[in-house]
Structure 1
Amino acid sequence: DPSLLLIAGLISAVAATVHGTVGFGYGLLAVPTCALLHPDLAPSPQILVAVPLALIMVLREGRFADRREIGLLILGGGPGALLGIALVKVASERGVQLTMAATILLGVVLMASGRRVPRTPRTIVGTGVASGAMMLIGSIGGPPVALLYRDATGPTLRGTLALYFLIGDVVAIGLRWGTGEMGWPDVVAALWLLPGLLLGLWLARFLIPRVEGEPLRRAVLALATGAALMLAWRAW
C-alpha cells in the first residue's frame, strides 16, 4: 500500500532526525512504529537503511571516534550476541526483556545521579557484551554504549556509535540474508524509507548545535529510558 509506505517514510524522517542529532534512536523509534503499520515494514528494512545512515554519520564525525575503543566494543559484542542466543533459548522472552529493561533503567539512574563510569578496557568490553546481547534479543543495542559515552562530546558520542553501528549492521544483514530472514521485498521497503532518512539527517544538522553539552546528556538519558520502557511494554 503506497499510503503505508509514505507514512513509514515520514516515520523514518523523524527517527533519523533524532538519531542524527543524538547518535542513536533510529531503530528504537522506527522499528516499533513501522511494525504497527504492517509487520513486513520492520525490522529488516530499518536494518538495511541503517547502513547508509551509519555510513553518512561516520563520514561526518567518524574521525572523532577512538578506533581502539571501537575494537573493544566489538570484542565484547561477539560474546554478547552468543549470550543473547543462549538467553533466548533458556529463558522466557518476557523475562529476558524485563531484565534488559531493568538493567537499562539502573544505568540511567546511576548516570542521572552524577556517577560517572570510567571508560576502561573492562567497562568498554562489558558494554559491548550488553549491547551485543540486547541487539540480538530486542534490536536495541545503542543505549548501553550511549550511557557509557554520555559525558563525551557530541562528535565523539555520535562518531563512536556510528562506526560501531556500521560494523554491527553489516554483520546483521549478512546473518539475516543468509538465514532467509531478509529478502528483496525488504530492500524495496528500505528504498521507500531512504528519502525520509536522508531528510532527517539533513534536519539534524540544524539541531546538533542546540543539544551540545548538558542537553545532549539529557537526550541520551531520555532515549535510554524510552528504550527500557518500550522493552517493558513488549514484555507485558
Structure 2
Amino acid sequence: MDELTLLDFILANLFLLAGCCLQGIAGYGIGTLSAPLLFLISPLFVPGPLVVNAVVLTVLLLLRNRASIRFREVRFAIGGSIVGTVLAGLTLAYITGRAFDLVFGGLILFGVLLSVAGLKPQLNTRNSVIAGAASGYMGTTVAVGGPPVAMIYQNEKGPLVRANMSAFFLFSSCASIVALIPAGRLGLIELKLFAYTLPGVVAGFLLSGLLVQRLPFAAMRPLILGIASIAGIGALIRGLTGG
C-alpha cells in the first residue's frame, strides 16, 4: 500500500465514480468497469476493497429502488450465489501473484464474452440458480459479478432490474466478504483502501440519480466492454510473463 500515490487514489475514486454511476443507471457496472481499471492501478484494490464498496453502493441503490423489488424472482439467484461464493473462497485461498493475474484476466474476458454473446436466457428458476452461481464465483474472485445476472434480466424493465439486481448484489457481496476474510484477501490494508475510495462510490451514486433517465447505457456499453477487455488481456500478459 505504501507504493500507492495520491494520483493513484484520485484515479481510483474516479474509476469508482464512473462504475457506480453506471450501476445506478443500468443495475450493474461497478465490477465490469471499475474492477479492471482498479486492477491496473494496483491488484490491492481487487477484490476486497471493491467488494466492500459494492455493499455500500447496493444498500443505497436498494433503498432508492425498493418499491420495484420482487424477492420471489431473485431468491433463486441468491441460492446459487452461495455455491459460487464458497468455490471462489477456496480458489482465492490457494492462488497468489501470477496465478491470480491469470484468473483475473480470464474471468474478466469471460464476463465480456457473456455480455456480447447475444444469449437471452429466460428469467426462470434454473437460469437464476446458474447465473447466481456464476456471479457469486466471479464476484468474489475478481469483483465482477454483473454479466451472468444481467443476462437473465436483460428483457426486464429498468426499475425491476435495478431493484432485483441490487438485492442480489447486496447478498452476494456480503457473502463474498465472509469468504474473503478466511482466504486472507480482506484485512486492515483492504479496509483502509475501501475508506480511501468510498467518496468515489457516494459521488457515483448521487450522479446516477441525476442521469438515470438521461444517459443511454446501451450507447456506452461498447466502451465499457472495450476497457474491460484491454484490462483483462493486460492481466493475462502480466501473469504469463511475470511482468
1:161 aligns with 2:165: yes
> Corresponding residue for 1:20?
24
One-letter amino acid of the counterpart of residue 19, structure 1: Q
1:105 aligns with 2:117: no
1:144 aligns with 2:152: no
For the 8 Å contact 1:147–1:220, the answer to whether it is kept is no
The alpha-carbon distance between structure 1 residues 67 and 29, as it changes in their structure 2 partners (threshold 3 A), is: same
For the 8 Å contact 1:97–1:234, the answer to whether it is kept is yes
The alpha-carbon distance between structure 1 residues 100 and 9, as it changes in their structure 2 partners (threshold 3 A), is: closer
Deviations 1:28-68 (A, max 9, x none): 22222223223333332111111110000010113312211
For the 8 Å contact 2:35–2:50, the answer to whether it is kept is yes
Q: Distance in 1 between matches of 2:156 and 2:58?
A: 19
> Corresponding residue for 2:69?
65
Aligned-residue sequence identity (percent) comes to: 25
One-letter amino acid of the counterpart of residue 58, structure 2: A
CA displacement at 1:207 relative to structure 2: 1.4
For the 8 Å contact 2:47–2:140, the answer to whether it is kept is no
The alpha-carbon distance between structure 1 residues 42 and 85, as it changes in their structure 2 partners (threshold 3 A), is: closer
Q: Distance in 2 between matches of 1:98 and 1:22?
A: 24
One-letter amino acid of the counterpart of residue 15, structure 1: G
The alpha-carbon distance between structure 1 residues 36 and 19, as it changes in their structure 2 partners (threshold 3 A), is: same
One-letter amino acid of the counterpart of residue 175, structure 2: V
> Corresponding residue for 1:56?
60
CA displacement at 1:86 relative to structure 2: 8.1
The alpha-carbon distance between structure 1 residues 50 and 159, as it changes in their structure 2 partners (threshold 3 A), is: same
Gaps of 5+ in 1: none
CA root-mean-square deviation:
3.1
1:192 aligns with 2:196: yes
Map residues 32-43 of structure 1 onto 2, 5 A cutoff: 32-43=36-47
Deviations 1:133-179 (A, max 9, x none): 33344332110111210111111111111111111111111222233
Q: Distance in 2 between matches of 1:149 and 1:229?
A: 26
Map residues 79-118 of structure 1 onto 2, 5 A cutoff: 79-82=83-86, 98=106, 101=109, 105=113, 108-111=116-119, 116-118=120-122
Report the TM-score, using the length of structure 2 for normalisation: 0.77
Instruction: Identify the match of residue 119 of structure 1 among 116, 123, 129.
Output: 123
For the 8 Å contact 1:77–1:128, the answer to whether it is kept is yes
The alpha-carbon distance between structure 1 residues 156 and 110, as it changes in their structure 2 partners (threshold 3 A), is: same
The alpha-carbon distance between structure 1 residues 50 and 180, as it changes in their structure 2 partners (threshold 3 A), is: same
For the 8 Å contact 1:147–1:221, the answer to whether it is kept is no
1:202 aligns with 2:210: no
Aligned to 2:28, the other structure's residue is in SS state coil
For the 8 Å contact 1:151–1:217, the answer to whether it is kept is no
Map residues 4-15 of structure 1 onto 2, 5 A cutoff: 4-15=8-19
Q: Distance in 1 between matches of 2:57 and 2:15?
A: 15
Number of positions where the alignment pairs a residue of Structure 1 with one of Structure 2: 227
Report the TM-score, using the length of structure 1 for normalisation: 0.79
